[in-house]
Amino acid sequence: MGGLSIVTSPTDEMSPPHLRAHRAFLLSNYLLLGAASGCAFLTLSLRLIPSIYGFLLIILHALTIGISVSSCSTITSKNPSGRWYGAHMVVTVVAAILQGSVAILAFSQTDDFLNNGLKSYVRQDDGIVILRMIGGLGVSIFCLEWIILALAFVLRYYAYVDNGGDSRRTAKVAQEEENVGGNWPWMVKV
């Protein structure tokens, strides 16, 4: 089973805690995907496209959806690279900070944000309700992204432990470790 599925076939390399963390990571990403897409549709219902802030808000939700999809596909691949993992972590942190700030702005300055920044064409009362729903989903997205970051770290740790701890060693480092005792000058040897 590939794609978007929580049911993964347990492999010989995966320990039971690793498998549980893997499933929790996928479930969290699916929840994030649902919350971000709901937030994007609520934002679109405010009719914000002519506004630059509205456009940036829609781009932020699209970025969050992209992060969720890419992390699901990365974690289900057999050999995720370290660079992809690092890039995922950085982009997720940036998106989490931006989602949290938008959520705080939506709750604390709802009227000003709706009238001055977003310039919505929806009635004021409806716009406030929709913007507060976006803020509530933004808080849940913020929390889910930090949970996903913690689970990604745990999964990286389990992958390192399940591989015997040798996944980061290169041939040059291994060769230098073998020659530590033999190539030192006689004054340095103890």
Confidence (pLDDT) at 79:
62
Confidence (pLDDT) at 147:
94
Quote the CA–CA distance of 94 and 100 in Å, as a whole number: 10
- Tokens 């010989």 — which residue? 12
pLDDT in tens, the chain (190 residues): 445 444 445 455 677 888 888 889 889 999 999 999 998 898 888 877 667 887 888 899 899 999 888 887 777 666 666 777 778 788 889 999 999 998 998 888 888 877 777 777 778 888 888 888 988 999 999 999 999 989 988 888 887 777 765 544 554 555 555 555 555 555 655 5
**C-beta of residue 124 within 8 angstroms of C-beta of residue 5:** no
Confidence (pLDDT) at 142:
93
Confidence (pLDDT) at 179:
56
Quote the CA–CA distance of 28 and 131 in Å, as a whole number: 24
DSSP H helices in the chain: 16-45, 52-76, 82-108, 110-112, 124-162, 171-178
- Tokens 């900070």 — which residue? 97
Confidence (pLDDT) at 70:
84
- Tokens 């040897």 — which residue? 189
